[in-house]
Structure 1
Amino acid sequence: MSASEPISAQVRLPVNSHLIDHAGIIPSGDIPRFDQYMGWILRESGIDVRIVFLPSVSNKSIETQAVDLMSQLQIGKQTGQQRGILLLYDMKEQRLKVEVGYGLEEVFPDVFVNYLVQDHVKTFFASGDASLGLRLMLRLLQHRIREAVIGNDFDPRTISKVRELEYLSGGAGVNSVLALGTKDGSKPTAQPERNLAFPAGKSPASAYHTYLDWLAHWPMNLNAEFFTTESRQYLASLPSSPAYAEFILFGEYGKQFKVVERGDLALLYFTNTPFVSPHFFIKTNGEWHMDLMAEVRNTHEHSGGEYTWAYYGDQDKYTYAFSDLLVTLKGYRRIQDGDNRPLVIRGDR
């Protein structure tokens, strides 16, 4: 294939597909689900997310190929506002290029794109589970899109919490060399000597800040004292990865919250993001512990609607203690004094 020959002459690149994998990275059975997920993002926000895995970009530079694919696939053309983003992976050279449409440079500033390339994408390629890594990356993209839709600017302090970040300049789009790795044995071994770094809290707020610090350290200490015993057992049963920890941190770090205490129980909820469910805390022997199992039992996530989570607790101690704070909005049970701004679903217009 010559440098001037379009890539579509070599491989079929259907214009309406959101995920095109000609490098065999994603199991074929998972591709329809990813295509559907990115279709939901498009209907929800009007932002066209595309991911293309190629064996090689041949004689073209990856930068030129990304620009050509933006045009060939008509990425972001449906809205007429260049509201599209392409993630192009070159298998042969092991490089990723993120190309951001002009209409989305404020939604996806370079510092955010660089985070995806340098941190999250490297993690998912090294994890040995490309489908899981891709799913987490799409959730990061969707979270950023949702924050932008309700008018929240990107806060680079989130990334600073994870690493020392070099801020980029020079326009939208970043590329980096990546390596496909093997499974890294991602469940960490607890390190008892680190327990003192993550003690139980003197208050629910201090326990929560310890939780944020805990998320930013890898491998995570599964015996951290600020968790309840049941929460530690639950964490030990889950597969763990730095990508997932960073995903949670990305959604919560720097967000404003309120804490309501009722005896030995506390509820922490967010007041400047409607996308994060509340946290639960219990005081034992004068110290506050985070109760992840209460969160699992009492809150559920949702997709495709005006709200991304709802409260489902019933006849448990937390629901009894905080029932007066609950309100039902459009069929979703939420915290009355929290951030309850609904998403505007563009597909409903």
Structure 2
Amino acid sequence: MNRSILFGLGSCAVLLSSMWFLHNQQKPSPATFSAESEPIFTQSTLALKSHIIDKADFIPVVDIPRFEQYMSWILRESGIDVRMVFLPNMGNKPIETLAVDLMSQMQIGKQTGQQRGILLLYDVQGQRLKVEVGYGLEAVFPDVFVNYLVEKHTKTFFASGDVSLGLRLMLRLLQHRMREAVIGNDFDPRTISIASELPHLSGGAGVKSELEVGTTRNKPVAQPNNADALPPGPSPTIAYQTYLTWLSTWPLNSNAGFLTTESRQYLASLPTSPAYAEYIFLSEYGKQFKVIERGDLALLYFTDTPFVSPHFFIQTDGVWQMDLMAEVRNTREHSGGEYTWAYHGDQDKYTYAFQDLLITVEGYRRIKDGDNRPLVIRGDH
């Protein structure tokens, strides 16, 4: 039975789905607070098992129910208890010590019996983030992955000026790693090594370094004179390889020739940040895929990951371009269920061309020769 919730678009079209959390965010003024003397939470908070405790009024109030729902579905999917705590300051207590204390006091992850909990603790005044991982998840989230989140990814999204959006992207990165672990995939440190070398990533000096909150959002920058730098490909596979190269270069060139005209127009109007490109790149890098061509249309789908939706390509004047708008229209991402994406296209040229490849699995339309392994849902805890 399909019990998932629809919360976004396809893998590359996550650019649009993440606008769900777009809000102008101003850096709050730290309040007077003592982490040692004032209770971090109340008994009523514990009773409700809130995933977010925001004593700094750091996240827009309208976003908190959405975060709560999202993290509750992560818990159902993977049995991993994710909590976020935002404090105006740490008082006289080191953030590392407070994180350990909160893990114990809030009993994060203990309800699963396997210490399957993660705490994201943020010090607003000191602009520091600490990610504390329960013992039962150390193999799932090794130090190299956690350090990447804090030192690289976090700096990138905090600089974008939209804290809610950045936190959602961090949750998506965590969720993707959880999903890989659920189907038995070990963590591949090469993905972090590659991502750390991408030119658009900012440097970091460790967990205690400052994470400044910016005031502007980034957009892909159209570069008219650079349209030929990322040209259409002689095949869909070459066009896809160009797409991966495109993701690794910031700012994204929305005038890139490998994209269809409609896709370029779409990207030029879309707020984004380097974190978008990181998330997509990390989810697709090194994955195996197949390409099926039907006339001037092609479908690329993945055979060793059930978590990435297919890509669409079209041939014009003998060369192939990537059709991101077809992905926006035809695929959707889901959370909390056995499958993380589904094909929703109907009565368009791609759906007609590849109709024989579509099957329905547990209420989800998928590609019959793709990786259709379901998530093992741990159920509500």
| TM-score, normalised by the number of residues in structure 1 | 0.92
2:166 matched to 1:137?
no
Q: Which moved more, 1:19-28 or 1:287-296?
A: 19-28
AA in 2 matched with 1:135: R
Return closer, same or farther for 1:176/1:153 CA change in 2, 3 Å cut-off: farther
Contact 2:35/2:92, CA 8 A, preserved across alignment: no
Structure 1 residue 185: Cα displacement = 4.1
What do residues 12-31 of structure 1 show as CA deviations (whole Å, max 9, x unaligned)?
35331211111221012211
Q: Paired residue for 1:319, among 336, 344, 351?
A: 351
Q: Paired residue for 2:137, among 101, 104, 121?
A: 104
- Whole-angstrom distance in 1 between the partners of 2:225 and 2:216: 23
- Whole-angstrom distance in 2 between the partners of 1:110 and 1:203: 39
Aligned to 2:219: 187
Contact 1:307/1:332, CA 8 A, preserved across alignment: yes
* Unpaired segments ≥5 residues, structure 2: 1-33, 199-205
Contact 2:80/2:116, CA 8 A, preserved across alignment: yes
Structure 1 residue 6: Cα displacement = 7.0
- Whole-angstrom distance in 1 between the partners of 2:220 and 2:73: 34
2:213 matched to 1:177?
no
**Hey, which bits of structure 1, 4+ residues long, moved more than 4 A?**
5-8
Structure 1 residue 9: Cα displacement = 3.3
Structure 1 residue 333: Cα displacement = 0.8
Structure 1 residue 311: Cα displacement = 1.0
Aligned to 2:75: 42
Return closer, same or farther for 1:95/1:195 CA change in 2, 3 Å cut-off: same
2:279 matched to 1:244?
no
Secondary structure at the counterpart of residue 365 of structure 2: strand
- Whole-angstrom distance in 1 between the partners of 2:40 and 2:184: 39
Aligned to 1:171: none
AA in 2 matched with 1:38: M
Aligned to 1:66: 99
Return closer, same or farther for 1:47/1:8 CA change in 2, 3 Å cut-off: farther
Secondary structure at the counterpart of residue 266 of structure 2: helix
- Whole-angstrom distance in 1 between the partners of 2:326 and 2:300: 12
Structure 1 residue 115: Cα displacement = 1.6
2:38 matched to 1:9?
yes
Secondary structure at the counterpart of residue 231 of structure 1: helix
Structure 1 residue 8: Cα displacement = 7.2
2:118 matched to 1:89?
no
Secondary structure at the counterpart of residue 179 of structure 1: coil
2:186 matched to 1:157?
no
Contact 1:53/1:90, CA 8 A, preserved across alignment: yes
Structure 1 residue 11: Cα displacement = 3.7
Structure 1 residue 247: Cα displacement = 1.3
Aligned to 1:344: 376
Structure 1 residue 7: Cα displacement = 4.4
Q: Which has the higher contact order (CA 8 A, sep 6+)?
A: 2
Structure 1 residue 181: Cα displacement = 2.4
AA in 2 matched with 1:153: D
Return closer, same or farther for 1:11/1:84 CA change in 2, 3 Å cut-off: closer
What do residues 165-196 of structure 1 show as CA deviations (whole Å, max 9, x unaligned)?
9xxxxxxxx72323332223411322234333
Contact 2:36/2:93, CA 8 A, preserved across alignment: no
2:332 matched to 1:303?
no
- Whole-angstrom distance in 1 between the partners of 2:261 and 2:123: 45
Return closer, same or farther for 1:190/1:6 CA change in 2, 3 Å cut-off: closer
Aligned to 2:26: none
Aligned to 2:86: 53
Q: Paired residue for 2:314, among 278, 282, 291?
A: 282
- Whole-angstrom distance in 1 between the partners of 2:134 and 2:336: 24
Return closer, same or farther for 1:135/1:341 CA change in 2, 3 Å cut-off: same
Return closer, same or farther for 1:69/1:8 CA change in 2, 3 Å cut-off: farther
Q: Paired residue for 2:112, among 76, 79, 92?
A: 79
Structure 1 residue 228: Cα displacement = 0.6
Return closer, same or farther for 1:107/1:261 CA change in 2, 3 Å cut-off: same
Return closer, same or farther for 1:132/1:208 CA change in 2, 3 Å cut-off: same
Aligned to 1:331: 363
The size of the alignment, in residue pairs, is 337
- Whole-angstrom distance in 2 between the partners of 1:138 and 1:8: 30
AA in 2 matched with 1:9: E
Identity percentage of aligned residues: 74
2:235 matched to 1:203?
yes
Return closer, same or farther for 1:73/1:348 CA change in 2, 3 Å cut-off: closer
What do residues 96-123 of structure 1 show as CA deviations (whole Å, max 9, x unaligned)?
1111111101111111111211222112
Structure 1 residue 158: Cα displacement = 2.6
Contact 1:117/1:176, CA 8 A, preserved across alignment: no
Contact 1:157/1:254, CA 8 A, preserved across alignment: no
- Whole-angstrom distance in 1 between the partners of 2:55 and 2:358: 49
Secondary structure at the counterpart of residue 302 of structure 1: strand
Return closer, same or farther for 1:193/1:115 CA change in 2, 3 Å cut-off: farther
AA in 2 matched with 1:163: S
Contact 2:248/2:277, CA 8 A, preserved across alignment: yes
- Whole-angstrom distance in 2 between the partners of 1:50 and 1:38: 8
What do residues 141-184 of structure 1 show as CA deviations (whole Å, max 9, x unaligned)?
1111111101112223333333339xxxxxxxx72323332223
* Unpaired segments ≥5 residues, structure 1: 166-173
Q: Which moved more, 1:80-89 or 1:8-17?
A: 8-17
Contact 1:265/1:280, CA 8 A, preserved across alignment: yes
- Whole-angstrom distance in 2 between the partners of 1:260 and 1:344: 29
What do residues 280-330 of structure 1 show as CA deviations (whole Å, max 9, x unaligned)?
001111111000111111112222211111112222211121111111111
Aligned to 1:233: 265
